[in-house]
A and B are shown apart, each in its own frame.
Chain A
Amino acid sequence: MTNLNPEQFEEMVAAYALDVLEPEERAAFEAQLAAAPQYQAQLSAYEQMLASLATLTPAVTEPDGHSERMMAKLNAAPAMSPAQVAAPAMIKTAISVPLTVVLPPTARKSPQPGMMQRIAAWFSQPGRASLALAGLSLVLVIGMVFWNLGLQTDVARYQQQASTTAAAVDLLGQPGTVVKALPGNNTTAFSQLIANDTQKRGVLLAYNLQPVASDKTYEFWLLDKSGNPIPAGIFNVDQSGKGVLNVSMPMDMPMSNLSAGAVTIEPAGGLPKPSGKPVVVGNF
């Protein structure tokens, strides 16, 4: 298998996840995949999505005695050495919280009695309980106001994302729609441009991009055949690194005159010319 361009890679990742490659294609692609960590996130996303198809199977009756047969197999499994089952220290630390659920009560730590006694003594002073209650109420009201404002912003952003994603789904069903891949440079960041030249519509989907500070934004650029960047819209990503953008496709230029797409980080509001390095980039 020759080296794949980003678009071919994207196609192969989908086919690989669905397990529709021939054995020799599969082996060759696995070798390329191992050298392209930026596509691992893509592969995981497809695998998780495909797993949801498994839930569509018709209900079946469980075979009698299957649990006992499973237990017999576990019994027959060879014992494992400590080296085989011991977890790295990092993993052990990570599970320390959930493990408190199964540990005996004696193994759990109690709060320090000294601190509790000091708190109780402070509240026992005349008037201090009312003062604390008033302060707490004020904090709660202020917190609720900020929470509400944040919620409204989130709702607006999600509504816009949902609308743009719906546009992308619609575009994928239109004849002449092309999908261009824009991988990150040795990172898991990844973008896809879904564009329809006839309709002059495009949607950019971004994955695994780092959220940026409030005075920054992501800006998408289309490059003409001479390499001149054309600003095509700004967007931000959510905490999971996902972002969507309704792309401003150049009205006077067919897709065949575009050579590449790229995303950079720019000051909030965007710039007419890129000033940052490309986060993702792909040749068309």
Chain B
Amino acid sequence: MPTANYINLTDEELVEVLRSNLYEPRAEDVSTPLSSDSATDKGNGSKPMVERNSGPLEVLYDRYFRQCYALAVRILSNPAMAEEVVQEVFLKIWQAPQSFDQQRGRFASWLLSVVHHRCIDELRKNKRLVSGNISLDAEGGDDFITRIPDEQKGPEEVAWIGEQRANVRRALTKLSDVQRRVIELAYFGGMTQMEIASYLGEPLGTVKTRIRLALQKLRLTLEAEGLGAE
């Protein structure tokens, strides 16, 4: 799928190519879907306003679909909906690559963050929180986030993902069980802090404090390892 020209570019460079549209399609790229789209003029006889090459997006999609999809499946517990949400995010990147601001960090972090927010929106829109809770419990939700093996994926996995996984797992061990639990219920369960308080039968103020301290501790630990904010 992706043209070889882009494979060695970093994520951020690929987004720059997408947003600048400086790249002129080459002959070998004419067979890519968007280029062929251009060639047929979408069947209406008029030239498209701008020819764009989808190669950079295809490389990004190949690099991150798997991780984004795994996250979406984990939150939504619905493979078809998960694929839909992830592809919708990539489509948005194609249509508005300028929505990624490099000043705010690494592309992969931003992408996963967008997918996460979209999944939570979808979960809440469909009021699937109840089944989300069941899913968490069914997978031994008490501590599943620290039990994922470090080397669970193939060699094609982006190195950054493996490093992040190992480091965030280590950082999570610094949290207390109750701190880990609220993060898990919020991040993977899509619960608001009021819902977490109700679910755990604890005062809202306690849950708020627990979330704040847990996030600060996690952030400090990751920053001490040179991760987190870059």
Contact = CB atoms under 8 A, between A and B. Distances in A.
Interface of A: 10-11, 14-15, 17-22, 40, 44-60, 62-63, 66-67, 69-75, 77, 79-82, 84-87, 91-92, 94-95, 98-99, 101-102, 161-162, 165-166, 168-169, 172-173, 177, 179, 192, 194, 205, 242
B21 A172 contact: no
Contacts of A84: 50
A242 B220 CA distance: 12
A48 B67 CA distance: 16
Contacts, number: 238
Q: Is the interface of A mostly helix, strand, loop or mixed?
A: helix
B222 A66 contact: no
B133 interface: no
20 contacts: A20-B192, A20-B193, A22-B194, A46-B215, A49-B228, A51-B164, A53-B188, A55-B165, A57-B148, A58-B152, A62-B66, A66-B87, A67-B62, A80-B49, A91-B16, A92-B20, A98-B9, A102-B17, A169-B220, A205-B220
Contact of B191 (A20, A40, A60, A87): A20
A45 B116 contact: no
A211 to B, nearest CB: 17
B216 A172 contact: yes
Given A53-B187, A69-B83, A73-B91, A94 B16 contact: yes
Interface of B: 1, 5-6, 8-10, 13, 16-17, 19-23, 33-34, 37, 42, 48-50, 52, 54, 57, 61-62, 65-67, 69-71, 73-74, 79, 83, 87, 90-91, 94-95, 98, 104-106, 108-110, 112-113, 115-117, 120, 144-145, 148, 152-153, 161-162, 164-165, 167-169, 174, 176, 183, 186-188, 190-194, 196, 208, 211-213, 215-224, 227-230
A57 B70 contact: yes
A91 B23 contact: no
Contacts of A58: 70, 74, 144, 148, 152
Contacts of A55: 67, 112, 161-162, 164-165, 168
Given A57-B71, A60-B66, A102-B17, 14 more contacts: A19-B186, A20-B196, A45-B219, A48-B105, A49-B222, A52-B109, A53-B188, A55-B162, A66-B65, A73-B91, A87-B20, A98-B17, A169-B221, A205-B220
A98 B217 CA distance: 37
Given A55-B67, A91-B20, A74 B54 contact: yes
Contact of B23 (A22, A94, A102): A102
B53 to A, nearest CB: 10
B112 A86 contact: no
A53 B183 contact: yes
Contacts of A172: 213, 216-217, 220
Nearest to A26: B192
B193 A15 contact: yes
A99 B12 CA distance: 12
A19 to B, nearest CB: 5
Contact of B109 (A14, A48, A63): A48
Top 10 nearest A-B pairs by Cβ distance? A45-B229, A51-B109, A79-B48, A55-B165, A54-B112, A95-B16, A87-B20, A98-B13, A57-B70, A51-B112
B33 A56 contact: no
Contacts of A53: 145, 168, 183, 187-188
Given A46-B219, A59-B153, A62-B66, A15 B5 contact: no
Contacts of B188: 53
B54 A44 contact: no
Contacts of B73: 57, 60
Contact of B50 (A81, A98, A168, A169): A81
B70 A59 contact: yes
A248 B152 CA distance: 46
B207 to A, nearest CB: 9
A40 to B, nearest CB: 8
Nearest to B53: A102
A99 B98 CA distance: 17
A105 to B, nearest CB: 12
B172 to A, nearest CB: 8
